[in-house]
C-alpha cells in the first residue's frame, strides 16, 4: 500500500470508452474509473456496504409458561418482516438492524416490546388482558342471541 502523501500526488485514473470498435471486430473498451483520495484510500465506484443480515430466534409463552402458537412477532419500523410463532411458541425473524426493537402481540394478551441486545431479550412472557375472556364470552352470547332472533 502506498503512503498517504504519495496518494495525494496521484491524479484520478480514468480509462476512456473507445467510441468505435476496430476493424477486427473488437468490442469497445468499458469505462473503468478508479479514484484515489488521501483520506479514504482506494474507493470503488458503485459499491455500497450492506448491513449484515441476521436471524433473531426467540420464544413466546403465556403467564403459565405454555407456548403461544400464532403470536405475531415484528420489528418496530420494519413493515416488511413479521412472523408468527409455531406450535412450540418459537420464531425466527430476519433483520439487518444492530439493536432492533422487537414487538410481540397475541389476541387477549398485553403486547410486549423490548430492545433485542441479547438472547434473553428474545424470550417473551405475555400477560392476559384483565376481563378479556369474560367480555368475549358476553359478546359471543349476545351475538348468538341476536342471530337467533
pLDDT at 4 > cutoff 90: no
Domains in the chain (CATH in brackets) are: 4-44 (no CATH), 54-130 (2.60.40.1120)
DSSP secondary structure letters along 54-95: EEEEEEEE-TTS-B-TT-EEEETT-SS-EEE--TTSEEEEEE
What percent of the chain clears pLDDT 70, i.e. is strictly above it? 65
At residue 49, the pLDDT reads 55
CA dist., res. 102 & res. 115, Å (int): 6
Q: Rounded to two decimals, what is the model's pTM?
A: 0.58
* Per-residue pLDDT tens over the stretch 14-24: 444 444 444 33
And the C-alpha cell for 114?
A: 423490548
CA dist., res. 40 & res. 12, Å (int): 13
* Per-residue pLDDT tens over the stretch 89-98: 999 999 888 8
Amino acid at each position: 500500500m502506498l503512503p498517504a502523501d504519495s496518494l495525494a500526488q496521484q491524479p484520478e485514473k480514468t480509462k476512456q470508452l473507445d467510441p468505435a470498435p476496430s476493424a477486427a471486430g473488437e468490442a469497445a473498451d468499458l469505462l473503468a474509473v478508479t479514484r484515489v483520495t488521501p483520506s479514504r484510500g482506494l474507493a470503488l465506484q458503485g459499491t455500497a456496504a450492506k448491513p449484515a443480515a441476521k436471524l433473531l430466534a426467540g420464544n413466546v409463552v403465556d403467564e403459565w409458561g405454555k407456548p403461544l402458537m400464532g403470536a405475531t412477532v415484528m420489528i418496530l419500523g420494519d413493515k416488511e418482516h413479521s412472523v408468527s410463532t409455531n406450535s412450540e411458541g418459537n420464531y425466527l425473524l430476519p433483520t439487518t438492524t444492530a439493536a432492533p426493537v422487537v414487538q410481540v402481540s397475541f389476541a387477549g394478551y398485553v403486547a410486549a416490546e423490548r430492545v433485542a441486545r441479547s438472547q434473553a431479550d428474545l424470550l417473551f412472557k405475555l400477560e392476559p388482558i384483565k376481563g378479556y375472556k369474560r367480555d368475549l364470552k358476553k359478546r359471543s352470547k349476545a351475538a348468538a342471541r341476536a342471530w337467533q332472533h
